[in-house]
Structure 1
Amino acid sequence: MIPFDFQPRTRIVFGPGVVNQLGDLAVELGAKRVLIVSDPGVIKAGHSQKGIDSLAAAGVESILFDGVQENPTTANVDAGIAVAKANDVQLIVGLGGGSAMDCAKGINFLLTNGGQMRDYWGVGKAHSAMLPMIAVPTTAGTGSETQSFALISDAETHVKMACGDPKASCKVALLDPELTVTQPQRVTALTGIDAIAHALETFVTRKRNSCSLAFSRGAWRMLASNFSTVLKDPTNLEARGGMQLGACFAGLAIENSMLGAAHALANPLTSTFGVVHGQAVAVMLPHVIRFNAEKVGDWYRELLQVDVPIDGFPSGDNPAALADFVKQLVAEADLATDLTSLGVTPDSTTQLGVDAAKQWTGSFNPREVDANSLKSLYDAAL
């Protein structure tokens, strides 16, 4: 029996068209002026305007901040704070992918608690109440809408800082699968693989518990069942909804059990070689599954018994089949399956291993990792 403390902090509203409820929800939260944090791509797709229109219909003024980039930095957060302060906002909306939602949380940390982003690196370092937030994800990937963490990169060192506090949890997550249909194919692939990694890693971490396992298992079934479909038929709203819910559930699993070595290995690839996060995770995850299976093979076998109604889902109980299946999904998504093709060289893996060993998520991996074992995983992926 594993004790746990599960505190649902985020109301989840799901369904086609629910973005139109944004204004009414803002009013429920007592807001008259709202900061919408978004990015140029989401704005161009017209999704930010849908949020603005809903807020306007409810009599709520909105201020749009579009200075979000992939892997948001402290510079993005600082720019957003200036806009928020100048307009005296009462609520923050993260409307976009994980980057927009994380940047919104970062803005909230500094707007309400002051200081610099590095002051909140870790857990529970916000001492004052934060503004209410609403998350409107336009991708199915990070699950940031149901997490209390913001991942913000230092603009100078490029180090990713995980800044978490229960106060940073969103009050509402609006999950509208219609907003995910316009994603470019590559974004669908990268975010989908990231969500799949979340489901698989949370299922085996040292902090896993009865609550997190329910979310991990549910996320795995929905994501594994629908990923290939959204790649082949991007307008399939049913599959898009399955991916969005799966990513959301995986986010809830992270909140209750954290992540593992695949994410620890991914971050140095991003900071050193510029490999985008989803691609970095995609390359490393099959190798981490094989590595972990020596200790937690029975747990992976449980996932092979989950009813995933698609052709090609592995039968039997060999954990290696799970690793092969993930690699197959990565290939189907037209993503790289090795590090060499991403420009990573053999002489870099020693330092990458050192950097990966410093990543917090590695401490939750079910099999202990250090710089040497992480280097070996990089070598295996070349």
Structure 2
Amino acid sequence: MTAFTFRAPPRIVSEIGAIDRLGEFAQELGMRRPLIVCDPGIAACGIAARAIEALRRAGLDAQLFDAVEADPPAAMVRRAVEAAGQGRADGIVGLGGGSSLDTAKVVALLARSGQDIDEIYGVDRARGGRLPLIQVPTTAGTGSEVTWVSVITCESLEKKAVYAPQLLPDLALLDAGLSAGMPPRVTAATALDAMVHAIEAYTSRTKKNPVADALARKALALLAGKLPRVLEDGGDLEARAAVLEGAMLAGMAFVNASVAAIHGLAYPLGARFHVPHGHANALVMGPVLRFNLRAATPLYAELAPCVLPGRAFASDAEAAAAFVAAMEAMAGWGGLATRMSHFGVTAADIPSMADEVVTQIQRLIATNPCDMGFEDVCAIYRAVL
């Protein structure tokens, strides 16, 4: 029997229209001056105003920090912490995609602990508690609303992760209606991010466990089954809810089992070329899955029914190959570009990106089903250049 620890948020609410009950939930957590943390797009489209209205209806003094940037830079996170302090915030509401949710978690922690962000990179380096925290995703992909990890881009453009149980929110609030306006490209990229979470959790070499396995399989089935419907009709709220719940389940799976090389190779694309995280995962997903086949064939065969229900296979090898092919076909869904050159990556960039992967992001290679060296990473990047 393999020993493992599984952590999850104490409360998850999945309900269309739940954003209008935000004030009720914030009150239950003792918030009086909640700070909403979001990006300018969430403010511009009216979702932040709806959240503020819900909080103010409950008599709360809602405040807004709407300057979150993609791949959250450390300097921006510090500004958000300052805003929390200046407004005497006693609770944080993360609202948006992964960057907003990751930022909100760190703000809730640092606004209470007084630490600087440079002090908490790594595992369990956070001290003390955090402010009450509600996470409200508006995209279905990162799973950040149910994880205790935040990924921050430091001054050197290296992505660094904060792992601390304090980052788990008090409440993850899933309202599928908030994702109804996502364009197909964003919908596909974020959903593929979630599918990669599930796959890498299920095949983790170091932290695979039965609870994460069950969540990963269910997540893949929901995402693969309902994503085509969402891409065909963005207003299909039943399908949107299923995809959002799939992303949440995948988030709980990966944070308790780890992600691996797909994420490792995606990070330089985000930090250096500002490729959206889910899209970066989609770019390198196919060749990494093929690279891993020699070690992961039995596990990929077990995942095949999740994405190819009803298909019969003569062997594990056939099932695994079909699974990889199906995932490769999804990489271009929603009109996603499938080549790194679309984002300005050149052959000259590959060696330094590969060096970053095998030196600074080695923790993700360690969990990959197969060992991966510098030349392997270069070859995978060249395959999608």
Superposition TM-score tier, normalisation by shorter sequence:
over 0.9
1:274-323 deviation digits (Å, cap 9, x = unpaired): 3222221101111111111100100000111237559xx89663323222
Alignment of 1:100-111 (within 5 A): 100-111=100-111
State the distance in 2 between where 1:44 and 1:9 align: 29
Task: Give the structure 2 partner of residue 325 of structure 1.
Answer: 326
1:181-216 deviation digits (Å, cap 9, x = unpaired): 012332212211111111111110121110110111
Task: Give the structure 2 partner of residue 366 of structure 1.
Answer: 369
Task: Give the structure 1 partner of residue 379 of structure 2.
Answer: 376
- 2:242 counterpart of 1:275: no
State the distance in 2 between where 1:261 and 1:314 align: 29
CA positional deviation for 1:376: 2.2
Task: Give the structure 2 partner of residue 159 of structure 1.
Answer: 158
State the distance in 2 between where 1:63 and 1:304 align: 46
Aligned residues: 379
- 2:222 counterpart of 1:219: no
Task: Give the structure 2 partner of residue 115 of structure 1.
Answer: 115
State the distance in 1 between where 2:348 and 2:321 align: 28
Alpha carbons 2:212, 2:257 under 8 Å: kept: yes
State the distance in 2 between where 1:179 and 1:102 align: 18
Could you tell me which runs of 5 or more consecutive residues in structure 2 were left unpaired when the two chains were aligned.
none
1:336-361 deviation digits (Å, cap 9, x = unpaired): 22334443323332222111112132
The letter of the residue matching 1:271 is A
Alpha carbons 1:33, 1:63 under 8 Å: kept: yes
Task: Give the structure 2 partner of residue 42 of structure 1.
Answer: 42
Could you tell me which runs of 5 or more consecutive residues in structure 1 were left unpaired when the two chains were aligned.
none
CA positional deviation for 1:7: 3.0
- The SS at the match of 2:331 is helix
- 2:86 counterpart of 1:86: yes
- 2:135 counterpart of 1:135: yes
State the distance in 2 between where 1:263 and 1:303 align: 19
Task: Give the structure 1 partner of residue 193 of structure 2.
Answer: 194
- The SS at the match of 1:141 is coil
Alpha carbons 1:181, 1:240 under 8 Å: kept: yes
Q: Give the TM-score taking structure 2 as reference length.
A: 0.94
- 2:261 counterpart of 1:261: yes
State the distance in 2 between where 1:334 and 1:307 align: 20
Task: Give the structure 1 partner of residue 183 of structure 2.
Answer: 184
Flag the 1:45–1:341 CA change in 2: closer, same or farther, 3 A. Answer: closer
1:61-104 deviation digits (Å, cap 9, x = unpaired): 11011011111111221111121111111110001111111111
Alpha carbons 1:327, 1:337 under 8 Å: kept: no
Alpha carbons 1:118, 1:161 under 8 Å: kept: no
Task: Give the structure 2 partner of residue 291 of structure 1.
Answer: 291
Task: Give the structure 2 partner of residue 356 of structure 1.
Answer: 357
CA positional deviation for 1:136: 0.6
- The SS at the match of 1:231 is helix
Alpha carbons 1:10, 1:146 under 8 Å: kept: no
Alpha carbons 2:144, 2:251 under 8 Å: kept: yes
- Aligned residues: percent identity? 36
State the distance in 2 between where 1:373 and 1:259 align: 18
Alpha carbons 2:109, 2:129 under 8 Å: kept: no
Alpha carbons 1:2, 1:210 under 8 Å: kept: no
The letter of the residue matching 1:379 is R
Higher mean displacement: 11-20 or 179-188: 179-188
Task: Give the structure 1 partner of residue 66 of structure 2.
Answer: 66
Flag the 1:294–1:114 CA change in 2: closer, same or farther, 3 A. Answer: same
1:223-261 deviation digits (Å, cap 9, x = unpaired): 111112211110111110011000000110012101010
Alpha carbons 1:14, 1:175 under 8 Å: kept: yes
Higher mean displacement: 324-333 or 158-167: 324-333
State the distance in 1 between where 2:313 and 2:190 align: 26
CA positional deviation for 1:373: 2.0
Task: Give the structure 2 partner of residue 175 of structure 1.
Answer: 174
State the distance in 2 between where 1:274 and 1:145 align: 22
Higher mean displacement: 288-297 or 170-179: 288-297
Task: Give the structure 1 partner of residue 124 of structure 2.
Answer: 124
Higher mean displacement: 272-281 or 39-48: 272-281
State the distance in 2 between where 1:223 and 1:277 align: 17
- The SS at the match of 1:61 is coil
Alpha carbons 1:158, 1:271 under 8 Å: kept: yes
Q: CA RMSD in A?
A: 1.8
CA positional deviation for 1:374: 1.6
State the distance in 2 between where 1:79 and 1:117 align: 11
